[in-house]
Amino acid sequence: MKLTVAGAALNQTPIDWEGNVSRILEAIEIAREQQVDILCLPELCVTGYGCEDLFLSDWVYEKALRILPRIVSACQNITVAVSLPILYRGKRYDTACLIHDQTILGFTVKQFLANDGVHYEPRWFTPWPAYQQEQIEINGQLYDFGDVTYDVLGIRIAFEICEDAWRENLRPGWIHRTRNVDLILNPSASHFAFGKTRLRERLVIGGSEDFNCTYLFVNLLGNEAGRMVYDGEILIAQQGKLLKKNNRLSFQDINLVCCKINFANKSKSEMAAVTDEYDKEIEFTKAESLALFDYLRKSRSRGFVLSLSGGADSSSCAVLVSEMVRRGVRELGLASFLNKLGMASTLPELEALDAQQALRQLTRKLLTTAYQGTVNSSENTLKAAQILADSVGATFHEWKIDDEVGGYTQKIEEALRRELTWEQDDIALQNVQARARNPAIWMLANIHNALLLTTSNRSEGDVGYTTMDGDTSGSIAPIAGVDKHFLIQWLKWAEEHLDYPGLHPVNRLNPTAELRPLEQSQTDESDLMPYAILVEIERLAIRDRHGPLAVYQIMQEEGIVEDQLLKAYITKFFQLWSRNQWKRERIAPSFHMDDFNVDPRSWCRFPILSGGFQEELAELKNL
């Protein structure tokens, strides 16, 4: 038996009913044109996966069912798996509907619900028990519902839906093997994280071997709902061999990959070389640029505004916006890129320029930056900001905020009837500078109907090394999901590999807040600890959930730093972590990039008020 199977990654949006359906129908039509026999679409692609508590609303399920007949009628001479939520006997289920030649064959229900990290599926859905099959009535017709297998086109088809495949020995695939299933379809909403594609490959390739079948995995694509990024990965494997894999993180709304499968003789199945890129730096660049593009267009904003300090964090944000323009235009073409952003009217102006000038002019329209200096700012950071803004083509402004800082300081001095000094009022005098930058940059963002980029990184979020209503303020925090140590290395990589010579002055500077007088030579690492140490403590304490003593014992064995200093760093981390949860609660929405983050609204919940690890740190001190 020879059949052409395909997966189509879709860039969907929660309750964008007409948009979601139009992309589903377009994917089906593309598949029909390519003579695909069986097409699989991503998880919950009708409603969008990221509907959150909208999944508790009955009308969402009713609307999805009203839309389903439009999809069914488009499936002439093709078999299509489309995923939608279903209300059945008062409970809510995550299902995959299999349609063959304009006829619904049944609904397979997800058996395992993701309930870790960024996922809260049991809040909305009910898991379905293995082996159980019932019938559901829809529009007067009865359909198989539950743990269903299908005989179509001379082969047997079954499903694993996203999390189902991650349950090792409990996977539905083991049951499917006993049923002699030929093809397992996996519609997924599997969020992006560094290196996760390697894990998926093992699940898909290993699953195809363990279950003696062909396995098709297809993921959502893009920044669907704000925080999660989906890479649109499509994997097709047969009996332990990877046949096809697409290039992830496309700017296209639809990314379809098809493969000719010989179910009788796997050596005769179509196979293509893998061209996808796995390096962390490349993954980060592609994921962030796509996430920014989708966030910009789906929020109906007109660009980005950035307080560009000349430091690593704000420079990272500037380069990522530039990469959004470069990569988006390269993949979509200028006209399509502008059309998706609602900027089609600027096409004649940009087409009159050569390609490089057009990119610079477009970046100028989309990215407005400002260097907001004080007496504590150095000439080096000003020049670094100017050079970088010019090199990427961003609009650049420069002004001083000393008058604003002086005004606030004078009011408090008059109220307290004393002079504020660095010896007595260090934190207050630092923070007032960061906060004083906020009104003007927000004003600029409002004038341009633009998104203000927050420049806080994950390392700062850990220890509260950030000013509330200062550098935490903004519409979106692109880099809050990655650590400072990685960002510093990435900027050096980007200077060389992405061709950003304007990063050279930035990469020569020591990271500094520049909030104390220049003669104090303030640096981030002298205020905190070496970033490499901070990152290691963070991974052990937050990602791996170890207490202070276990963190010390693990790091002591590694011999990274001498014992007393290590104890001091660990103590400082846990003290700052526990007292700064209130800051993490207020960081702007951030993109999930790594295998963990510190955003309490998506990954790491921690009490705002706690005992602060006092007993645990005392035990560490007394070792």
Residue with tokens 């297998």: 149
pTM of structure: 0.95
Identify the weakest region by mean pLDDT among 329-333, 397-401, 410-414, 430-434.
430-434
Whether pLDDT at 272 is above 70: yes
Using CA atoms, how far apart are residues 247 and 234, in angstroms rounded to an integer? 8
**Residue 318: its pLDDT value, please?**
98
Domain residue extents for the chain: 2-271, 282-401+437-621
Amino acid letter for position 342: G
Sheet holding 304-307, edge to edge: 395-400, 367-373, 304-307, 451-452
Query: What is the pLDDT at residue 275?
Result: 95
Question: Which pLDDT tens digit goes with each residue over 98-120?
Answer: 999 999 999 999 999 999 889 99
Task: Look at residues 576, 134, 29, 518 and name the one whose alpha carbon lies nearest to residue 584.
Answer: 576
Q: Rounded to the nearest 5°, which phi and psi values hold at 224?
A: -75, -50
Q: Give the angle subtended at the CA of 61 by the CAs of 55 and 64, to the nearest 5°.
A: 120
Residue closest to 152 by CA, chosen among 225, 100, 197, 84:
100
Q: Which residue intervals of 277-354 are DSSP H helices?
A: 280-298, 312-332, 334-340, 347-351
CA–CA separation, 398 vs 390, rounded Å?
Answer: 13
CB-based burial of residue 66 (10 Å sphere; 0-12 exposed, 13-18 middle, 19+ buried)? exposed
Tens of pLDDT along 559-610? Answer: 889 999 999 999 999 999 999 999 999 989 999 999 999 999 889 999 999 9
Examine the pLDDT at 514 and tell me if it is beyond 70. no
**Mapping DSSP to helix (H, G, I), strand (E, B) and coil, where does residue 560 land?**
coil
Exposed/middle/buried for 55, CB within 10 Å: 0-12, 13-18, 19+? buried
The 3-class secondary structure across 168-237, one letter per residue, is HHHCHHHHHHHCCCCEEEEEECCECCCCHHHHHHHHHHHHHHHCCCEEEEEECEEECCCCCEEECCEEEE
The three-class DSSP label of residue 350 is helix
Q: What is the CA radius of gyration of the chain?
A: 27
pLDDT of 415 higher than 70: yes
Per-residue pLDDT, 551: 97
- Cβ proximity of 303 and 451 under 8 Å: yes
Q: How far is CA 39 from CA 9, 161, 490, 534, in A?
A: 11, 15, 38, 46
> At the top level of CATH, which class does the domain 2-271 belong to?
alpha beta
Closest of 343, 340, 346 to residue 298, by C-alpha? 340
In the numeric block, the tokens 């850990």 are attached to: 462
Are 2-271 and 282-401+437-621 the same fold in CATH? no
Q: What percent of the chain has pLDDT over 90?
A: 93
Q: Summarize pLDDT for 426-464 with one digit per residue, the tens.
A: 999 999 999 999 999 999 999 999 999 999 999 999 999
Specify the CATH class of 282-401+437-621 in words: alpha beta
Strand partners for 107: 97, 145
3-class DSSP state for residue 84?
strand
The CA distances from residue 546 to 331, 550, 573, 613, 621, in Å, are 44, 6, 13, 12, 17
Is the Cβ–Cβ distance between 48 and 72 less than 8 Å? no
Q: According to the model, what pLDDT value does residue 513 have?
A: 63
User: Is the pLDDT confidence value at 157 over 70?
Assistant: yes
Q: What is the mean pLDDT of the chain?
A: 95
Query: CA 442, CA 317: separation in Å to the nearest integer?
Result: 17
Angle of helix 422-436 versus helix 402-416 axis, rounded to 10 = 130
Which structure tokens are listed for 166? 């991650």
Give the Cα separation of 284 and 491 in Å (integer).
Answer: 11
Question: CA 291, CA 121: separation in Å to the nearest integer?
Answer: 23
Residue 165: partners with Cβ closer than 8 Å, 6 or more residues away: 171, 173, 186, 188, 203, 204, 207, 217
- pLDDT above 80: residue 407: yes
Model confidence at 524: pLDDT above 90: no
Distance of alpha carbon 520 from the chain centroid? 38
CA nearest 574: which of 532, 612, 518? 612
Query: Whole-angstrom Cα distance, residue 591 to residue 116?
Result: 17
238 bridge partner residues: 214, 241
Q: Is 456 helix (H, G, I), strand (E, B) or coil?
A: coil
Helix, strand, coil: what percent of the chain each, to 5?
A: 45, 20, 35
Evaluate if residue 46 carries a pLDDT over 70. Answer: yes
**Tokens matching residue 335:** 């006209």
Q: What is the dihedral of CA 251, 256, 259, 260, to 10 degrees?
A: -150
**83-97 tens-digit pLDDT:** 999 999 999 999 999
Whether the pLDDT of residue 521 is over 80: the answer is no
Distances (CA, A) of 338 to 177, 348, 350: 48, 11, 10
